[in-house]
Amino acid sequence: MPPPTVPRKPLGKFYAVVLRTPDFSHGNVARKGGLGGKDVVPVPEFGALCVCCDGDVMGRTQRVELTDPGGHFRADPVDVPICAGCAEHAVERTGASIMAGAALCVGGPVAVLGFFFYDLPAVGVAGLVITAATVAWLLRSKRARLAHTRGGHHPGLSLLVAPRQCVVRTPNRAFAERVVAANADRVFRVK
Ligand SMILES: [Zn+2]
Ligand SMILES: [Zn+2]
């Protein structure tokens, strides 16, 4: 079976290359995801060029965390080719994004509770402040990412793992193609 092709998307949109080990099973994901713990993760081959700007990294790599969106499963960080110029912006700060999501979930309800249910305006205001600050932060980081994206850079790489699965999430189509080519036998799907 030929490896899947990478679709074409507008600049700044993300690609997801899903790698799985041959013995991947959803039952195992549920078990390990529920209980926590470690399992085998198919560590991708990333190729030789910078994952952000496709430039020569001069042998430089950078540790990137493997993030479990569910938060239970752990895996060791991996070394990814990132050039010195891209060190600060190549990788998505998934921890911060998850925190922002959590803050949004808390801020709104806290404001509603404070104003309408408990008659505690201070609590309501605190909820609004959390929400406003979080939204501002999200907009700022999105703008910063897009500003970089226009200069031939593709910031925002993240590596999402589940037991026996690793998803390489990137807005860099050329890099996504390199990952597919280098991991052809393990690519389960490309979106
Ligand atoms: Zn670079
Ligand atoms: Zn870059």
pLDDT digits (tens, 9 = 90+) for 157-191: 999 988 889 999 999 999 999 999 999 999 999 99
Ligand 2 center from residue 155 Cα (angstroms): 6
User: Tens digits of per-residue pLDDT, 53-102?
Assistant: 999 999 999 999 888 877 677 788 999 999 999 998 899 876 667 777 77
Length in residues, the chain: 191
Helix, coil or strand: residue 125: helix
Q: Which ligand is nearest to the CA of 82?
A: 1
Angle of CA points 130, 135, 141, to nearest 5°: 125
Ligand 1 center from residue 7 Cα (angstroms): 23
DSSP 118: S
d(CA 63, CA 79): 5
pLDDT at 34: 60
Candidate from 28-32, 43-47, 83-87, 99-103 with smallest mean pLDDT: 28-32
Ligand 1 center from residue 29 Cα (angstroms): 34
Helix, coil or strand: residue 37: strand
- Higher-confidence residue of 35 and 154: namely 154
Ligand 1 center from residue 182 Cα (angstroms): 19
pLDDT at 90: 92
Ligand 2 center from residue 82 Cα (angstroms): 8
Ligand 1 center from residue 51 Cα (angstroms): 7
User: Tens digits of per-residue pLDDT, 107-148?
Assistant: 888 888 888 778 788 888 888 888 888 888 888 877 777 777
d(CA 89, CA 148): 8
Q: Tell me the pLDDT of the chain averaged across its residues.
A: 86
Q: Which ligand is nearest to the CA of 83?
A: 1
Task: Flag whether pLDDT at 12 surpasses 90.
Answer: no
Ligand 1 center from residue 2 Cα (angstroms): 29
pLDDT at 126: 86
Q: Are 95 and 129 in contact (CB under 8 A)?
A: no
Torsion (CA) 86, 6, 2, 161 in degrees, nearest 10: 60
Ligand 1 center from residue 86 Cα (angstroms): 4
